[in-house]
Amino acid sequence: MIKVSVVGAKGRMGSHVVDAVNNAADTELALALDAGDDLTQITPGNTDVVVEFTVPSVSLDNVLALVAQGVDVVVGTTGWTDEKLDQVRAALAAAPREGQSVFIAPNFAISAVLADYFAKVAAPYFESAEVIELHHPNKVDAPSGTAFHTAQGIAAARKAAGLGPVPDATETDGGSRGQVVDGIHVHAVRLRGLNAHEEALFGNDGEQLTIRADSFDRISFMPGVLLAVRKVSTGAYPGVTVGLDNFLDL
């Protein structure tokens, strides 16, 4: 049984994590803390892994404190910069327990992480590639960070394989061809009813490959969170690890 404490337990994500930890056969909930609660209650004695889902303004301090208390941390809060990561690395170097881990993921949805990876693997084998992302209309940025990242990965994989630019005879266009990210066209759809969806399309003469990831609900992040908890609890990932793909057998 892996003992898991949750920081940010009353938040939108944290409350799902509490449920997921309670429902999984190999995890049990230790402490469920939220803003205002005393983090020093969390110790190696009662907790194997902490899941931290709060807000960027407090996450770094939370993680530094938890590292100093000797526990491993899985972080779902966004907003991590290289400078912040360096502070965490320094804290880990001075941590009380040897081989302590901090794991940070920009995206815990396994379907999205796999789609991003598959797009990179497929890219060298196709003449054409484009990315379409579809989200709810309340999203303020376009395209999504995930789609941007996927397009960059496709472009890098094409370049590494010696591929030239994608074929495109377009002469007249009023903007319908979308945004070009490192040579890859990216399209963003905003539609009421959707949540977060991404398609990578690849084409050769006579064939197409489509990889699509749909996230209908934030509960989709829970298998990724539990996977990270299990991996971190093994002690096999000392230091800072970024990205769920490190825990998938790819």
Which segments are annotated as binding site for NAD(+)?
8-13, 34, 76-78, 105-108
The two structure tokens encoding residue 24: 């999984």
The token pair that represents 138 in the structure block? 């309340």
| CA–CA dist 60, 198 (Å, integer) | 30
| The one-letter amino acid at 26 | D
**Closest to a second copy by CB, 61 or 217:** 217
Select from 223, 229, 21, 23 the least CA-distant residue to 32: 21
Smallest separation (angstroms) from a second copy to the CB of 106:
16
Radius of gyration, CA atoms only, the chain: 20
* C-beta closer to a second copy: residue 149 or 187: 187
Residue 135 falls in the annotated catalytic set: yes
* H helix or E strand, kind and range, residue 39: none
Q: Which two tokens stand for residue 133?
A: 């992302």
Report in angstroms how near the CB of residue 105 gets to a second copy at its nearest.
Answer: 14
Instruction: Using alpha carbons, list the distances in angstroms from residue 60 to 21, 89, 245, 249.
Output: 23, 12, 22, 29
139 classed as catalytic:
yes
* Smallest distance from a second copy to CB 147, Å: 8
- Residues annotated in a binding site: 8-13, 34, 76-78, 105-108, 136, 145-146
Report the residue number, 27 or 111, with the smaller CB distance to a second copy. 111
Annotated catalytic residues are 135, 139
